[in-house]
């Protein structure tokens, strides 16, 4: 029925489908490293963790793709898909990857500066909170109906994100069975979200090119800058 109705629409009214691939690659990398680490027990994967006592520069990036347990991974992947898909649909593939890396690295950097030297940080939770903040900011408009919708749904979304935080990114204390004891790293969550807000603010300061297309960019004009 839908396809039949679409056939009757003028060509200019048909909206091309956006290809969303970046978020699936991010999810596949997280899944692949988890399988290699926890199922095949590839020892070299642990060198990707962020060891606070003497970190390598690349660990600030690679630690965002590693996870301590299936619960830790599954909760992060659920919200990665939701918020990452929104960011990619709104801003594109490059913006998604840039947002994931910068918010994840920012969260790990703050964690390294604040947490004890015996801590080990892994997980995408900082990036999840960063993508959450970005997806909210790029969707918000001054339309009162959109604001009301955000208020109604916002508390539910935030509650679910905080539940995911209970399986989150900071590892401290002695190792058990080759893996450190897991604790919640709220510093990574907050700093990841703040990096996302700062990233959107910085991008908003870049002057937009003149609008030669007319109505094609009209939908962007009422977004918060």
Catalytic residue among 125, 135, 168, 191: 125
For residue 42, what are the CA distances in angstroms to 12, 23, 93, 179?
53, 25, 30, 13
Helix 70-91 to helix 93-114 angle (10° resolution) is 130
* 166 exposure class (CB count in 10 Å sphere: 0-12, 13-18, 19+): exposed
CA distance 133 to 26: 18
| 63 Cβ contact partners less than 8 Å away, ≥ 6 residues apart | 48, 49, 50, 104, 108, 121, 122, 123
125 among known catalytic residues: yes
C-alpha of 119 from chain center: 22
For residue 161, what are the CA distances in angstroms to 14, 105, 130?
35, 19, 11
**Cβ distance 127 to 87 under 8 Å?**
no
Catalytic residue among 75, 99, 189, 191: 189
Sign of the dihedral through C-alpha 108, 167, 22, 19: negative
Phi, psi at 120, each rounded to 5°: -130, 125
74 among known catalytic residues: no
Positions annotated as catalytic residues are: 125, 189
């Amino acid at each position: 029925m839908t396809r039949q109705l679409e056939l009757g629409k003028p060509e200019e009214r048909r909206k091309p489908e956006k290809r969303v691939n970046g978020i699936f690659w991010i999810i596949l990398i997280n899944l692949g490293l988890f399988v290699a680490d926890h199922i095949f027990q590839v020892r070299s994967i642990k060198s990707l963790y962020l060891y606070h006592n003497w970190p390598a520069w690349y660990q600030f990036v690679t630690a965002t793709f590693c996870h301590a347990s299936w619960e830790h991974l599954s909760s992060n992947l659920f919200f990665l898909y939701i918020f990452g898909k929104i960011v990619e649909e709104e801003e594109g593939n490059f913006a998604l990857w840039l947002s994931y890396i910068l918010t994840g690295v920012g969260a790990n950097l703050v964690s390294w500066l604040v947490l004890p030297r015996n801590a080990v940080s892994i997980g995408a939770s900082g990036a999840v909170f960063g993508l959450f903040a970005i997806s909210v900011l790029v969707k918000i408009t001054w339309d009162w109906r959109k604001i009301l919708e955000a208020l109604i749904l916002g508390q539910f979304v935030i509650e679910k994100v905080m539940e995911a935080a209970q399986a989150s990114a900071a590892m401290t204390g002695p190792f058990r069975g080759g893996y450190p004891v897991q604790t919640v790293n709220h510093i990574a969550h907050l700093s990841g979200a703040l990096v996302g807000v700062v990233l959107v603010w910085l991008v908003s300061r870049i002057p937009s090119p003149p609008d030669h297309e007319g109505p094609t960019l009209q939908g962007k004009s009422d977004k918060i800058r």
